[in-house]
Amino acid sequence: MSGSLQDQLLKAGLADADKAKKMAREKRKQAKVARKSGTEVVDENKEAARHARAEKAQRDRELNQALNSKAERKAINAQIKQLIESNRVPKGQGDIAYNFTDGKKVKSFYVNAMQHKQLSAGVLAIVKQGDQYEVVPRQVADKIAERDPARVIAQREDADVVLTPEEEDWYKDHEIPDDLMW
């Protein structure tokens, strides 16, 4: 089956020779008019194909963006997991229950006295790994919070003491000596 589609349809008896000649004549006539007037003949089929290619390219870009964001999220989760695994502080060996909230739920685990003080002082922080909670140093928790803030459950923020103008005025009369030794 070689030849043009028109020839194949004529041989199969699916098209008329007169109708095919009429369509070819009409096409030549349109092309001649377009050349003389300097306008382009808009081929609906070509325009539809161009539009379909543009839509497919847009869908492909959206799909690639979704795949890239999924891969990026997976890489971030792997980084967080590695940070937690390599820097976690052993817990569960103490006798003091440390309570914290995860959303609306109150959770607790047992720590020793030193860990309890460090958690209260903000030296240690609690992070979530899957459905488990781990204790890590504050610097590690800050790195985890940069990647995913929702993973850091309990971290005490040391708020700087801000004095009101009245308090500042009251303290201005009391100078602190330079040679003060603690």
Domain ranges of the chain: 5-37
Residue 68 — very low, low, confident or very high, per pLDDT cuts 50/70/90? very high
Query: For residue 107, which phi and psi values (nearest 5 degrees)?
Result: -115, 160
- Give the model confidence (pLDDT) of 114-170 as tens digits: 888 888 888 889 999 888 888 899 889 998 988 888 888 877 665 344 455 655 565
Residue 177 — very low, low, confident or very high, per pLDDT cuts 50/70/90? low
Q: Measuring CA to CA, how many Å separate 147 from each of 95, 130, 138, 143?
A: 33, 15, 14, 7
- Give the model confidence (pLDDT) of 92-114 as tens digits: 678 888 888 888 888 888 888 88
3-state secondary structure of 96: strand
What pLDDT, on the 0 to 100 scale, is given for residue 150? 86
Alpha helices of the chain — where are they, by DSSP H?
5-12, 17-37, 44-87, 113-121, 138-147, 165-171
Residue 44 — very low, low, confident or very high, per pLDDT cuts 50/70/90? confident
What pLDDT, on the 0 to 100 scale, is given for residue 42? 67
Q: What is the mean pLDDT of residues 29-38?
A: 81
Residues 148, 143: Cα–Cα separation, whole Å: 9
What pLDDT, on the 0 to 100 scale, is given for residue 160? 42
